[in-house]
């Protein structure tokens, strides 16, 4: 059981917008910023959002992040087939003194 | 460009130890923490621990304390993860990742190694 809770799956058609949620607690999301990683099949994860809503260089502005209280979300607009991947939220947990991940959300582009 | 290149796949017997390396290039090795994350087949990401390559200070996930050791050789910009007393459940891909941070509440992995498959089987 993951410390951060994500829906196991999400889906949308090309061009649509999809949102993936990530729920935590006061000791993790409530106290620290949230990062999001995209993992394409059989590859290493890639950072797509850091510090709640910042995009690394090279990540399209179709990707956006937000945080409110003990929850965070990742939004992808103008979906492309190449966005199909697993997405993980992560942050530091002050009680566990550890990095914690969500269980991952498999995004399917229909 | 920043690169983390890991050692190759390993097959180990239960009870043995494995040591995976992670060679950094394209940046100052001692300026960024190295973290280790593993992923069993079809499963999610699991954080194992961090190491400050400058000081050698480490921190480990509770689950792995006593079984995992993170070390480094700064002369060759390489970090190591050693996991002992291997069990079949340790079969997974092991990733190293460089961590960047802002202040006390922002800590993220901005570059990852390609992963190293460790198979534990009798």
CA nearest B102 in A: which residue?
A51
Q: Which residues of A touch B (CB under 8 A)?
A: 2, 31-33, 35, 37, 39, 44-47, 50-51, 56, 88, 90, 92, 96-104
Confidence at A88, pLDDT banded by 50, 70, 90? very high
Question: What CA–CA distances, in Å, run from A105 to A20, A92, B43, B49, B112?
Answer: 7, 19, 11, 23, 20
8 Å CB contact of A92 and B59: no
As given in the structure block, the two tokens for residue A106 are: 């498999």
- Distance, in angstroms, between B7 CA and closest chain A CA? 14
pLDDT digits (tens, 9 = 90+) for A17-67: 999 999 999 999 999 999 999 999 999 999 999 999 999 999 999 999 999
The alpha carbon of residue B31 is apart from the nearest alpha carbon of chain A, in Å, by 19
Q: Is the pLDDT of residue B102 over 90?
A: no
By CA distance, what is A3's nearest residue in B? B46
Q: What is the pLDDT of residues B81-100, one digit of tens each?
A: 999 999 999 999 999 999 99
* Cβ neighbours for A102, distance < 8 A, ≥ 6 positions apart: A2, A4, A5, A6, A22, A88, A89, A90, B44
């Amino acid at each position: 059981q993951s410390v951060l809770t994500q829906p196991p799956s999400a889906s949308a058609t090309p061009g649509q917008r999809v949102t993936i949620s990530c729920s935590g607690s006061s000791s993790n999301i409530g106290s620290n910023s949230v990062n999001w990683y995209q993992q394409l099949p059989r590859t290493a994860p890639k950072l797509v959002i850091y510090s709640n809503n910042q995009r690394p260089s090279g990540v399209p502005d179709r990707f956006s992040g937000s945080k409110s209280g003990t929850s965070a979300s990742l939004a992808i607009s103008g979906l492309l087939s190449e966005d199909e991947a697993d997405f993980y939220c992560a942050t530091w947990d002050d009680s566990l003194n550890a990095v914690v991940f969500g269980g991952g959300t498999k995004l399917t582009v229909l | 460009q920043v690169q983390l290149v890991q050692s190759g796949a390993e097959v180990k017997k239960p009870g043995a130890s494995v040591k995976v390396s992670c060679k950094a290039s394209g940046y100052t090795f001692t300026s960024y923490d190295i973290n280790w994350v593993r992923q069993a087949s079809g499963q999610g990401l699991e954080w194992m621990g961090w190491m400050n390559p400058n000081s050698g200070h480490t921190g480990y996930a509770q689950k792995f304390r006593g079984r995992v050791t993170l070390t480094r050789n700064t002369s060759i910009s390489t970090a190591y993860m050693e996991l002992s007393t291997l069990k079949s459940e340790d079969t997974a891909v092991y990733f190293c990742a460089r961590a960047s941070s802002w202040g006390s509440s922002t800590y993220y992995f901005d570059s990852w190694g390609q992963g190293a498959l460790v198979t534990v089987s009798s």
